[in-house]
Amino acid sequence: MPPVPGEAKEHRTVSRVMTILELVSQSANGLSLAQLAAALDAPRSSVHYIVKGLVATGYLTENGAYTLGPAVGTLLATQQPPVDRVARASLESLHSLFDETVTLCVRIGESVVNIDIIESTQPIRFSPALHVRRPLFPSTAGKCFLAYADQRFRDTYLDIHIEETEKRRRAREELDRIAREGIGYASKEVTPDLGGVAVPVFHGDKHVAVLTVAGPRTRIDTRLEKIADATKTEARHVAERMMAQ
């Protein structure tokens, strides 16, 4: 009998994607490419093509074995208050205090994405793009995500994206400092004219977002300590509001 128009039909690639995610979610230590290929009874090359796509979009993380990536959390957002809604009052507060551009960022795979922005009203200002993926390194917000990322993911990411040994060493030192102090600063080497801070936002013990304030370095540097303290305070307020809901 021919299929009824509009009737749902199984699609082999979609089925493989869902099976991979289900298998990985049930494995405490992740699964290798060989294990996934065997479980799917599929050619390793075909499975490799799929998992690479899932890694690129953040649904899997590759650290010797494949584990669930941070983008899966986006699909489960109904289990926690939407961070952009909860954080909006804090963005408005920081914008009111300093009239510099304030952003809320999330990590998707190996990218950082601005999900909310309030731009400075001043003629010369930082004007970032909304909902556009940017590499984790060397952006200030991306470094903040790397600082709190799984150690294996962080090491693998730096090894792949930074060729020079000395630069990798300095990057690791900076990430360690961010994790200790709970704040990242815009690097003069990366953005000579742009200053700013990035502070992690947590939901319980889970790192869910980064709050940033940025603008021309000539304005930021004269108020850096006040901006840093206020951004840390608002990041805590966001965390408290998320836990209260």
**Look-up of token digits 């914008």:** 95
Which pTM value belongs to this model?
A: 0.73
- Report residue 40 as tokens: 């799917």
Q: How many CB atoms lie within 10 A of CB 91?
A: 22
Residues near 32 by Cβ (< 8 Å), separated by ≥ 6? 65, 66
Name beta bridge partners: 31: 66
Domains parsed from the chain with CATH numbers = 12-69 (1.10.10.10), 78-244 (3.30.450.40)
Q: Are the beta carbons of 112 and 105 closer than 8 angstroms?
A: yes
Q: Are the beta carbons of 129 and 141 closer than 8 angstroms?
A: no
- Cα(148)–Cα(199) distance, integer angstroms: 11
Mind listing the pLDDT tens digit of every residue in the chain (245 residues)? 455 555 666 678 888 888 888 888 777 778 899 989 887 888 999 999 999 999 888 889 887 889 888 777 666 654 556 788 899 999 999 999 999 999 999 887 778 889 899 999 999 999 999 888 889 999 999 999 999 998 888 998 899 899 999 999 999 999 999 999 999 999 998 899 999 999 999 998 889 999 999 999 999 999 999 999 999 999 999 999 998 88
Question: In the prediction, which pLDDT does 76 show?
Answer: 60
Question: In the prediction, which pLDDT does 6 show?
Answer: 58
Question: In the prediction, which pLDDT does 1 show?
Answer: 45
Q: Are the beta carbons of 115 and 104 closer than 8 angstroms?
A: yes
- Cα(184)–Cα(137) distance, integer angstroms: 12
The residue ranges of DSSP E strands in 59-203, in sequence order, are 60-62, 66-68, 101-108, 111-118, 133-135, 184-185, 194-203
- Cα(234)–Cα(94) distance, integer angstroms: 8
